[in-house]
Structure 1
C-alpha cells in the first residue's frame, strides 16, 4: 500500500479541485500529481532508489510536493525542524545520511557536510533558488515505487535530544480511518493545521486532507488573527491545533463571525477552564481532544461538548487495545494507577538506528507509552503523569502533571510547570515555575494552602519561581528540559 494512491485517483476524478493553497498560489490535484511525478523522476535520474531525502523547510507548498514525490519514488523523506540549531541539524544529517537535501537558502548555510557531497535543491525565494529550475525540465514519467516506510520523523525533544521514529504507510492510513470514525469528519472539504509541518500533528493533517480529497490551507506560521480570518472566508473548516493556539484564538475571535466545523486539539494538556471557555466562544463547532504520540498515533479521544469528563483524556479509539499494569506487569484494578501499554495497527515501526531503545519500547507485543494512567468505571482514561517526569520527594512519588492540573485552576496563574529540584533532605523538592496573569503574586504559603485542598500535603510546591515567559518547542509544548536547566541556573 502507498499513501499516494488515493491522491492519484483524485487527480483523475477531480483534477481541477484545489489540493493545496497558501493564499497566494495553489495546486490542483492534477497539478500536484504532475509535480509529484516530476520530483520522483528527478530522484530516479540522480540514482536514488529507496534512499533517504532530507527536507529542511518552513511551511510551504514545495514541502508537500517533495514529501509526496519522495514517497512516490519509493524513497524515505526526513522532515527536519528548521528551528533546530546548526549543531542539531548536522547531527541528524550525519546520522541519517540523506542522498539529497531540499531546503531554503536561509537554512542551507547551517549544513556542514563532512567528507562527502550531497546535492542541495533550494526552494525559490525572491527568484533565488534551484528548485523550480530542477523540476521544470523533468517529465512526469516515473511509476510508483513501493517502500514499507513512509517517513522518518523526529520527536519534539521536550525532555531531551529528538529521536528518529519510523512510520509506515499502513500505520498512517489506519490512523486516517480511526480519525474519520471517531471525529465524524464526514464533510472534510477544507482543512487547516497552522503548526509546523515538521511535526506529526500538522503533517498528519496534511496527508489526511489529501487522502480524503479535501483542500489543505497552508499557514506560513501561526497567527491567530489570520487563522480566524481564513475560517471566516471559508466556513466549515476543520482545524488541527495545540492548546496554546486555542488560547490565542479565543483572545482574538469575534463571535459569531467564525464558523468552524471542528477544532481538534492535541500535543499538550488542554485545561478544563480553557475547554469551558472554548465551548462558549466556538459554540457551533465540534470540539475534540485526543491523546496520542508520534510513536503510538492515536490512543484515546474526548468529545468536549458531548462528554462531561473533567481531567480525562477520553476513551480509547475503537482499534486500540489498552492495558494498565504495575511494575510486575500485572494488570491493575479499575481506578488504580499503573503504566499504560497499548496494541494497535497504528503504532510506529521503531526508532531509527536505536535498536536498544526500540526493544525497550515494547514488552510482549505491547507498546510502552511511558505514562501512568488509571481507567474509571466507564472506560475513560485519566492521566496521572509521565514516568520520565516523575519526582521522588521524601521517598514518595509525585507526578508534576497532577500538581499542574491543580495549580492551573488558580485564577492568578496563567501558566505553570512543576518539577523536582535536587534537595539534600527531600531528595527532590517539588517546585513550581509560574507565569502570572497580572500584577498580583501569591505567596508560597498561599499556593500550599490551595493545593492541600486538592492534593496530599507532600505534593504541594515548596518553592515558587516566577518567570516572564516560558520557552516552547516548535510544536507548542513547554520545553521542559530547557526550563529545568534554567531553574538550575537561577537557583545556584
Structure 2
C-alpha cells in the first residue's frame, strides 16, 4: 500500500474533518488532498519521476503538503534540518541531489542554496511567495504514482558525527503504524501532538500516523512547554509523542488538576525514573509509555510506565519484532548476560542512501545490528548497558557511559549528566562526569564515587567531575555527545 491511499480515502469518507491545524490555519482532509494533488501535478510538470525533493523548513502546513505531494507524484521527499550547519546542509544536498528545493524565506538566502543553483520554491508568511504563486497555477488532475517503494530519505540526528541518510519504505512505516495502535492501546485516536521537528523521525512518524488514521494533527512550529501545556488543556484526549527533555520542561509548569492527556509516548533518550514518577503524579489517568527504537529499526521494545516498576527497563519487544543478543563471535548469550542487540522485523529500514558499505555493516542475513549492548532478564525485559559507538576503555576495562549515567540520574541533586572519556596516559580514558545540577545543590566527587560503587564495579566510578551550566542538544532534543566532547577538548586545553 502507498501511504497516501488512506489519506485519499479519508478525503472521500470524512472530507470536513480537520487534518492539520497550526492554531491559525487549518486544512480539512479534502483541502489537504487537493493541495497534495496540485503539488504532484507541479512536480510532474517539472519532469520529476522518482526524483528527490528536498524540504528545508521548520514545522508548518506547507512542509506536510510538499511531503505528501512528492509521495503522490512518485518522488522521494528529503527533510533537511535548518539547524544544521551550512557545511552539513551542503554535504547532504550534494549527496541527495534533489531536483527541487522547498524552503522558507528565512533560509532562502543561505549561500549553500544559491551555490547549488537548484530551483527554489519559497514558503512565505508575509505575502504570496514563489510557492503559493506556483500552486495557484496548478490543477488537481495528477494521477497517483504508486510504483516507488521508498517513502522518504531521512537523516540521523548526528549525536556523534555526520548524519547518514536512512531509507524508509511505505510498507515498513505502515506496519509500524499498526504496531502503535496494538501496543499503546490507542483506540480513541482523535488528536495527535508531536512538538518536535518534522525533520526527525519521531515527530514525522507521529504526523503520518495521524494522517494514516484520519485524525487531526496539531502543528507546533517550535517546542515551548507553556504553549504545549495550553494546547493540552484545549484539546480533548490528545495523544503526545515527545522526547524526555520536553517532558522535563513540561513537568516544571504542569499541575495535576489542570493537565489531562490520553497518552504520553516518550522516546529518543533516557527518561529518568524520577521524571517517570512525577509524570504518574501529574498526568493522573493518562497512559504513559516509553519505547526504544531507532530511525533504522523503527520500534524495538516498549514499556507501560504507568504500571511498570522495573527500574531502567526498556520493556519487551513489540509484536513481530525478533531480538537476538550475541557475543563478539555472534553467538547467542545466556539470559542475564550482556551482548550486542540484533533485531529482525518488517518495521526496519531499507539501508543507508549511497552508503553500501555502511549498510552492509549493519544489515546481515536479515538482522539489523543495532550497536547497542543489552541484557535480558528471565521475564524477557530488556536493559540497555551502552552503545558500541560510545564505549570507552578505562584501565583496560570496557565501560559504557550510559550505564554510569543511568545510576547517576537516580541522584536528586543531578538534573542531567553525561559521561565521557578524557584521554589520559594512565587510564586511557579517564571517566569524567559532566553534571548539570538541580538548583544550587552540588555533590563532591567522593560522594559521587561512593554512590556509584553501590551499583557498579569500582572501575566504573567517575574519576573526575565537571559542572556545566547547560548541555548542547541536537535538534531532536538529545544531548549532542560529539559537540560536548569537542567543547570539553577546547575548555580543557
TM-score, scaled to structure 2:
0.98
1:177 aligns with: 178
1:141-156 correspondence runs (5 A): 141-146=141-146, 147-156=148-157
Report the CA distance between 1:79 and its aligned residue. 0.1
Count of residue correspondences? 492
Report the CA distance between 1:88 and its aligned residue. 1.2
CA distance in 2, matches of 1:133, 1:64: 18
2:404 aligned with 1:403: yes
1:37 aligns with: 37
CA distance in 1, matches of 2:48, 2:117: 14
Report the CA distance between 1:438 and its aligned residue. 2.1
Q: Which moved more, 1:296-305 or 1:112-121?
A: 112-121
1:44-443 correspondence runs (5 A): 44-112=44-112, 117-127=117-127, 129-146=129-146, 147-443=148-444
Does structure 1 conserve the Cα–Cα contact (< 8 Å) formed by 2:273 and 2:311? yes
Does structure 2 conserve the Cα–Cα contact (< 8 Å) formed by 1:394 and 1:428? yes
SS at match of 2:48: coil
Does structure 2 conserve the Cα–Cα contact (< 8 Å) formed by 1:235 and 1:258? no
Report the CA distance between 1:444 and its aligned residue. 1.4
Does structure 2 conserve the Cα–Cα contact (< 8 Å) formed by 1:194 and 1:241? yes
Does structure 2 conserve the Cα–Cα contact (< 8 Å) formed by 1:391 and 1:420? yes
Does structure 1 conserve the Cα–Cα contact (< 8 Å) formed by 2:192 and 2:215? yes
2:22 aligns with: 22
CA distance in 1, matches of 2:184, 2:481: 30
Report the CA distance between 1:255 and its aligned residue. 2.2
1:446-457 correspondence runs (5 A): 446-457=447-458
Does structure 1 conserve the Cα–Cα contact (< 8 Å) formed by 2:260 and 2:284? no
Report the CA distance between 1:349 and its aligned residue. 0.3
CA distance in 2, matches of 1:306, 1:116: 53
Report the CA distance between 1:426 and its aligned residue. 1.1
SS at match of 2:137: coil
SS at match of 1:79: strand
Report the CA distance between 1:476 and its aligned residue. 0.2
Q: Deviation string for 1:247-273 (max 9, x for gaps)?
A: 111111132222200000000000111
SS at match of 2:252: helix
CA distance in 1, matches of 2:289, 2:443: 33
Does structure 2 conserve the Cα–Cα contact (< 8 Å) formed by 1:90 and 1:111? no
Report the CA distance between 1:149 and its aligned residue. 0.5
SS at match of 1:298: strand
CA distance in 2, matches of 1:111, 1:188: 43
Q: Deviation string for 1:233-257 (max 9, x for gaps)?
A: 1120000000011111111113222
Report the CA distance between 1:113 and its aligned residue. 5.3
Does structure 2 conserve the Cα–Cα contact (< 8 Å) formed by 1:39 and 1:69? yes
CA distance in 2, matches of 1:187, 1:442: 46
SS at match of 2:455: coil
Q: Deviation string for 1:128-155 (max 9, x for gaps)?
A: 5211111012110011002110000000
CA distance in 2, matches of 1:31, 1:256: 37
CA distance in 2, matches of 1:239, 1:438: 28
SS at match of 2:393: strand
SS at match of 2:227: helix
Does structure 1 conserve the Cα–Cα contact (< 8 Å) formed by 2:362 and 2:369? yes
The 4+ residue runs of structure 1 with deviation greater than 3 A are 113-117
CA distance in 1, matches of 2:230, 2:440: 32
Does structure 2 conserve the Cα–Cα contact (< 8 Å) formed by 1:103 and 1:121? yes
Report the CA distance between 1:111 and its aligned residue. 4.4
- Structure 1 alignment gaps of length 5 or more: none
Q: Which moved more, 1:198-207 or 1:251-260?
A: 251-260
SS at match of 1:112: helix
Does structure 1 conserve the Cα–Cα contact (< 8 Å) formed by 2:54 and 2:100? yes
SS at match of 1:182: helix
SS at match of 1:373: strand
Report the CA distance between 1:449 and its aligned residue. 1.3
CA distance in 2, matches of 1:150, 1:233: 33
Does structure 1 conserve the Cα–Cα contact (< 8 Å) formed by 2:19 and 2:27? yes
TM-score, scaled to structure 1:
0.99
CA distance in 2, matches of 1:116, 1:219: 30
Evaluate the alpha carbon distance shift between residue 400 and residue 127 of structure 1 in structure 2; reply closer, same or farther with a 3 A threshold: same
Evaluate the alpha carbon distance shift between residue 243 and residue 200 of structure 1 in structure 2; reply closer, same or farther with a 3 A threshold: same
Evaluate the alpha carbon distance shift between residue 232 and residue 116 of structure 1 in structure 2; reply closer, same or farther with a 3 A threshold: closer
Report the CA distance between 1:399 and its aligned residue. 0.8
Does structure 2 conserve the Cα–Cα contact (< 8 Å) formed by 1:89 and 1:111? no
- Structure 2 alignment gaps of length 5 or more: none
Evaluate the alpha carbon distance shift between residue 115 and residue 214 of structure 1 in structure 2; reply closer, same or farther with a 3 A threshold: closer
CA distance in 2, matches of 1:433, 1:357: 31
